[in-house]
């Protein structure tokens, strides 16, 4: 296994300055540093390291992004739940992005954004790699504070992962990003610039990356985060990118082109959530954790992806429940600790 790139430019289309004849010129594309020298990874791979992997299959219904950037046609598969991908009988490179889920927040203390890791990974010939996506959980136990890692697990058991990032942010309005404090990081692996791993309000601004889209590992701070699973923006994501020609053999029935969201409402309360997934072969399936069928259940109501179980529905609008009053005790304890720290400093 070979992983390339630096922590500030991994897994993204970057702009760097390349020295040529004692002058500097801006350069965009996928770049890696080899023996202290920046080299661009062309559409046919990188000399001395290898060519791009040919992806033959994916599982877990990832969303497929197809676009052109820097003169190359790209395909990126985006997983928001577990899955896998398989390459042909020849080793090759994939570009990856791993974003862990955010930690939970506590009233006046903001949660932290998930860790972010990107770069190039050499995949062994014919190998199936398992994709795990971090999910925010309802727990205050352990360093993660509800944050969990996203990872790639190779067939030989070796794991490449972006770790959780736990603890409370202080001040509450500035949750820590996965790499850059407070603001998170931006990445274009999915075809457009998106922010990941920031400490944020529900709308993702101004405390973190903007916009804080679903599955961006962004922490909320304003008390409307719901449990047990948190807001959709808190969850992690995994992306794998190769030139489009290297993904041409993937079955269209295994990747998603569009997702519509629906809620099941009982007595004015959201009791279940469904996704209607449209696949590349024009098939449609409605899914949730225990249901998958071409037929949609009766009486579902269209909703935004941020709606969660326990929200109320009235007059055509979904509303989150009021904050859990238990956060006050945690906030008081946090203030006590801050006072102790100040007394030590004085």
- Domain boundary residue among 250, 267, 291? 250
Within this chain, do residues 86 and 157 fall inside the same structural domain, yes or no? yes
What is d(CA 188, CA 127) in angstroms, rounded to the nearest whole number? 26
Within this chain, do residues 301 and 244 fall inside the same structural domain, yes or no? no
Q: Do 201 and 225 contact (CB within 8 A), yes or no?
A: no
Burial profile 293-322: b = 16 or more Cβ within 10 angstroms, e = fewer: eeeeeeebeebebbbbeebebeeeebebee
Within this chain, do residues 286 and 219 fall inside the same structural domain, yes or no? no
Within this chain, do residues 221 and 342 fall inside the same structural domain, yes or no? no
- Domain boundary residue among 250, 272, 300? 250
Within this chain, do residues 236 and 325 fall inside the same structural domain, yes or no? no
Tokens 């007394």 appear where?
343
Q: Do 295 and 286 contact (CB within 8 A), yes or no?
A: yes
Tell whether 106 is covered by a domain.
yes
The parent domain of residue 324 ranges over: 253-346
Tell whether 274 is covered by a domain.
yes
Q: Do 189 and 116 contact (CB within 8 A), yes or no?
A: no
Taking the model in full, what pTM does it have? 0.73
Within this chain, do residues 336 and 240 fall inside the same structural domain, yes or no? no
Q: Do 237 and 218 contact (CB within 8 A), yes or no?
A: no
Q: Do 72 and 243 contact (CB within 8 A), yes or no?
A: yes
Within this chain, do residues 109 and 227 fall inside the same structural domain, yes or no? yes
Structure tokens, 182: 């407070």
Tell whether 278 is covered by a domain.
yes
Within this chain, do residues 138 and 260 fall inside the same structural domain, yes or no? no
pLDDT score, position 189: 94
Tell whether 318 is covered by a domain.
yes
Tell whether 86 is covered by a domain.
yes
What is d(CA 167, CA 7) in angstroms, rounded to the nearest whole number? 22
Within this chain, do residues 168 and 205 fall inside the same structural domain, yes or no? yes
Within this chain, do residues 257 and 141 fall inside the same structural domain, yes or no? no
Tell whether 288 is covered by a domain.
yes
pLDDT digits (tens), the chain, 346 positions = 333 333 333 333 333 333 333 333 334 556 555 545 555 666 655 555 668 999 999 999 999 999 999 889 999 999 999 999 999 999 999 999 999 888 765 555 556 778 888 888 999 999 999 999 998 776 554 445 677 889 999 999 999 987 766 445 554 444 445 444 456 778 899 998 888 887 644 444 344 555 567 888 877 654 444 444 566 777 899 999 999 999 999 999 999 999 999 999 999 999 999 999 999 999 998 988 677 788 888 899 999 887 888 899 999 999 987 765 655 566 677 777 777 877 777 6
Tell whether 342 is covered by a domain.
yes
Within this chain, do residues 123 and 263 fall inside the same structural domain, yes or no? no
Within this chain, do residues 208 and 225 fall inside the same structural domain, yes or no? yes
Tell whether 20 is covered by a domain.
no
- Domain boundary residue among 229, 250, 271? 250
Q: Do 311 and 269 contact (CB within 8 A), yes or no?
A: yes
What is d(CA 333, CA 37) in angstroms, rounded to the nearest whole number? 50
C-alpha torsion angle, residues 335, 339, 340, 345 (rounded to 10): 140
Domain tally, the chain: 2
Q: Do 280 and 77 contact (CB within 8 A), yes or no?
A: no
């Amino acid at each position: 296994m070979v992983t390339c790139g630096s922590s500030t430019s991994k897994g993204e289309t970057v702009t760097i300055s390349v020295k040529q004849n004692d002058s500097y010129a801006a350069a965009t594309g996928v770049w890696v540093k080899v023996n202290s020298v920046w080299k661009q990874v062309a559409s046919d791979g990188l000399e001395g390291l290898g060519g791009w992997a040919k992806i033959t299959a994916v599982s877990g219904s990832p969303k497929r992004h197809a676009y052109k950037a820097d003169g190359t046609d790209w395909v990126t598969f985006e997983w928001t739940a577990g899955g896998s991908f398989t390459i042909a009988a020849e080793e090759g490179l994939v570009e990856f992005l791993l974003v862990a889920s955010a930690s939970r927040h506590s009233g006046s203390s903001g949660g932290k954004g998930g860790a972010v890791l990107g770069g190039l990974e050499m995949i062994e010939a014919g190998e199936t790699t398992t994709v795990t996506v971090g999910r925010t959980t309802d727990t205050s136990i352990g360093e993660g504070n509800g944050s969990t890692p996203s990872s790639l697990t190779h067939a030989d058991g070796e794991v490449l992962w972006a770790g959780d990032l736990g603890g409370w942010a202080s001040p509450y309005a500035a949750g820590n990003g996965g790499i850059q404090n407070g603001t998170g990081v931006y990445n274009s692996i999915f075809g457009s610039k998106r922010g990941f791993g920031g400490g944020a309000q529900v709308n993702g601004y101004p405390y973190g990356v903007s916009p804080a889209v679903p599955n961006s590992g962004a922490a909320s701070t304003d008390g409307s985060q719901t449990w047990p699973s948190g807001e959709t923006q808190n969850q992690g994501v995994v992306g794998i990118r190769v030139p489009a020609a290297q993904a041409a053999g993937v079955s269209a029935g295994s990747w998603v082109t569009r997702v519509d969201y629906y809620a099941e409402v009982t007595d004015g309360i959201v009791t279940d959530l469904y996704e209607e997934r449209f696949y590349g072969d024009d098939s449609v399936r409605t899914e949730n954790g225990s249901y998958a069928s071409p037929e949609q259940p009766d009486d579902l109501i269209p909703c935004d992806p941020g709606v969660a179980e326990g929200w109320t529905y009235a007059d055509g609008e979904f509303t989150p429940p009021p904050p859990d009053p238990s956060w006050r005790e945690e906030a008081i304890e946090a203030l006590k600790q801050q006072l102790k720290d100040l007394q030590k400093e004085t």
